[in-house]
Structure 1
């Protein structure tokens, strides 16, 4: 029995052809469940790891909904709003809407709104209204304050990467956006992780929602081979260069902890004849977009980046992800390695670990239910011993080399309590 095609899910022949042209061989598990429900107007909670096909799972039914409606948006009005946490993800989702919607009878008007670029062209583009707006919260609110668009006619809201939209910096912005929307609308919430905060958001936002849970990363992407290489910190760049040359990796994404490290490692590689470039938040948006496009098209072999690229980056044929620095959050480990092995292709994820970061790697393994053997590369065997364990404040976790904001708040509260206690005043 053959696998179901996109037309069998209720999509129009034009959208089914667009899927074939985009290289989608067959619907992914989340698309099989989500698309028919969304075509019926259901609210949806999608728990989907990176690379599961969740973007097309909401893009396709929303495009069909708009294509079947002859009405056009009024001036400065919006029919579908997709809220995302990063500029790169906004650009990528906008591209998927444009690519899959190119063959529909009613060509949807799509606006992608994010910071880092001039606001004036975005304001001009919204004068006639937009069928679809894909936006980061900050720029969307900026345009709302300028009266450049109105959200009172939104028919469908998508919160993509909802776990990121719950971060402290987005909370107030998200609530302001929700307050500007009409009460009656279709709501779609997608998240790669499902902490209690996401459940609380879903409970307050969704009505009679279908819950679709794609397979976990380990189950859905067995083609990602994960390796851990033990190496002293001072020899990581040398080992990276050795692997690039000996393993003949063609397209590699290297994650580092800081913007300075991205510049430094990329420069060291480039000076030794490896076509590498940095990507981080200090670069202007046009340069960031240019670097990503050059990387996608093979303009250079290695992109050295911060967690800016951990989400919202889809590069076909990405051979290897290297964790030069381990991610601070165990969840970000999943997002990082998910940049490779996409759409069923094979991928490789390599993490460097040293004596000082071994405990943090064990935490990542525990949280992600992994058990990865430690390897050594001949000539790069580590020589540094582990530092003695530091005292903890009882919060029960090693999250990285520096205390988190929550850790600092806990420490300050404990110090304040100690000062007020009778023992402290005697």
Structure 2
């Protein structure tokens, strides 16, 4: 199957080619025809499989040849949980809609509101927003929802996790009843399904993978290590394997700041990104990371959704998340669009429960490797603490090997060309997945 077979316009197909894409991903192949047919759709797929393009492309086509945009109004509204994801979605709208001259705007907090007000005064075809800033603008009379034809919830489960349910309810009450509603996410919980039943008309469900499954393109590994030695181990991994680009997740903002400072002391260019940083600082940090000006971007879970970095070779969980689903989203930052990726977790004994929860969620036992010189004094038990250990994964090493052997072996899978920490440039047939 190619994009030509999905019923998209010539102008959209040109834009897709410009982005270097040829073959739709499974979620795109299934969702796009349904959306073009005007159906309400609930779509679930793994992170990094092209969900953004799966709703952006048909949304733009449905807006073609429609009514003119009026001041302070929009024809399509996309709600996202984070600023970074909102910016990414609007970038996709610009990229795919460039030959049709669609107007768009993105609004979120943390930046000055006046430039956003100026954009909305002219009216836009597509408005991408986080709920809080959107309600602020509406309360001040700068946005009217009367012309909304399509509503999109992007990463709906994350919006509920972040406590946006009351804002969402307020926004939906302001929208026209006659509209198309789309809900995209990596996972669908019982709460999300209940939410959909209240806001959607006979929605069609599209699922292309096992819920909470991790991408096959991502090699996952656990390095048991004592908590006090985690930062030293991370510096060792970065330096010994010449990692030029690594996204590191911590559980707290303070932890992100402390770790980035320690990495800098160790001669590794690093910067922290989290909710206490200004939006300008977050945007600059992400831009520098994408351009290779910094080696390590140290982030809290605010970056687990919405960061789309092409060919990101590796992700490191410096701290395991206390919500197992967040592990899936974290490691979904690598191995995107069919490329190979590597996810390493530095796990201390006090995180055994978190590790067990993750393994139970993804239904696999993660292979472990002790790094020479960093063997833990306090072992990380297999299986739930207090229970018998579960059988080891078939991929688990039979004996402890040195770090260079472990990382070198795992990073060699699916990689084209040389260079430690590199990743494949596409799928086996050379096609890339539209984001």
Query: What's the offset of the Cα at 1:313?
Result: 0.4
Deviates more, 1:300-309 or 1:205-214: 205-214
Corresponding residue for 1:62? 59
* Partner residue in 1 for 2:176: 182
User: Match of 1:78?
Assistant: 74
| Partner Cα distance (1:62, 1:218) in 2 | 26
Compute the displacement of 1:117 (Å): 0.4
Q: TM-score, normalised by structure 1?
A: 0.87
CA contact (8 A) 1:52 1:214 kept: no
Q: 2:296 aligns with which of 271, 287, 302?
A: 302
How high is the TM-score relative to the length of structure 2? 0.85
- Matched with 2:137 is 143
Mapped pair 1:266 → 2:260: yes
Report what 1:44 is aligned to.
41
Question: 1:92 aligns to what?
Answer: 88
Task: Give the counterpart of 1:23 among 2, 8, 20.
Answer: 20
Contact 2:213 2:362 in 1 (8 A): no
SS at match of 2:349: coil
Q: Does 1:102 align with 2:90?
A: no
| 1:290-347 alpha-carbon deviations (Å, 9 max, x no partner) | 1111111111111011101000100012111000000110000000000000001000
Distance 1:320 1:277, change over 3 A: same
Q: Tell me whether 1:233 sits opposite 2:230 in the alignment.
A: no
Query: Secondary structure at the residue paired with 2:121?
Result: coil
- Matching of residues 211-230 of structure 1 within 5 Å: 211-216=205-210, 221-230=215-224
The answer (yes or no) to whether the contact 1:217–1:334 under 8 Å persists in 2 is no
C-alpha distance in 1 between matches for 2:179 and 2:70? 17
Deviation at 1:134, TM superposition (A): 0.3
Does residue 338 of structure 1 match 2:338? no
Deviation at 1:167, TM superposition (A): 3.1
Q: C-alpha distance in 1, partners of 2:9/2:238?
A: 45
Higher Rg of the two aligned structures: 1
Higher relative contact order (CA 8 A, sep 6+): 2
Distance in 1, Cα, partners of 2:13 & 2:127: 23
- The separation in 1 between residues aligned to 2:121 and 2:29, in whole angstroms, is 37
C-alpha separation between the residues in 2 aligned to 1:359 and 1:143? 43
1:31-87 Cα shifts (integer Å, max 9, x gaps): 111111111111101012211111001100111122232x21211111000011111
The superposition leaves residues 239-295 of structure 1 with CA deviations (integer Å, 9 ceiling, x where unpaired) of 111111112222100000111111111111111211111111111101101111111
Report the RMSD for the aligned CA atoms in angstroms: 1.8
Q: Report the CA distance between 1:152 and its aligned residue.
A: 1.5
Distance 1:179 1:200 in 2: 17
* CA distance in 2: counterparts of 1:168 and 1:132, whole angstroms: 24
Residues 226, 376 of structure 2: 8 Å contact kept = yes
Question: What SS does structure 2 have at the residue aligned with 1:374?
Answer: coil
Distance in 2 between residues matched to 1:167 and 1:339, nearest whole Å: 19
User: In 2, distance between residues paired with 1:132 and 1:120?
Assistant: 19
Equivalent-residue separation in structure 2 for 1:356 and 1:221 (angstroms): 27
From 317, 322, 333, the equivalent of 1:323 is: 317
SS of structure 1 residue aligned to 2:122: coil
Alpha-carbon offset, residue 23 of structure 1: 2.0
Question: Structure 1 267/134 Cα, relative in aligned 2: closer, same or farther at 3 Å?
Answer: same
For the residues of structure 2 that align with 1:368 and 1:280, how far apart are their CA atoms?
Answer: 26
Moved more, 204-213 or 73-82: 204-213
Determine the structure 2 residue equivalent to 1:32: 29
Matched residues, number: 384
Instruction: Describe how 1:267-286 pairs up with structure 2 within 5 A.
Output: 267-286=261-280
For structure 2, list consecutive stretches of 5 or more residues without a partner in the other structure: 387-435
Is it true that 1:192 corresponds to 2:186 in the alignment? Answer: yes
Q: Counterpart of 1:380?
A: 374
Which of the residues 117, 126, 129 maps onto 2:120?
126
| More moved, 226-235 vs 264-273 | 264-273
Shift of 1:103: 1.6
Q: What is the rounded CA distance, in whole Å, between the counterparts of 1:373 and 1:261 in structure 2?
A: 26
Deviation, 1:384, is: 2.8
What 5-or-longer segments of structure 1 have no aligned partner? 393-426
Counterpart secondary structure, 1:183? coil
CA contact (8 A) 1:258 1:306 kept: yes
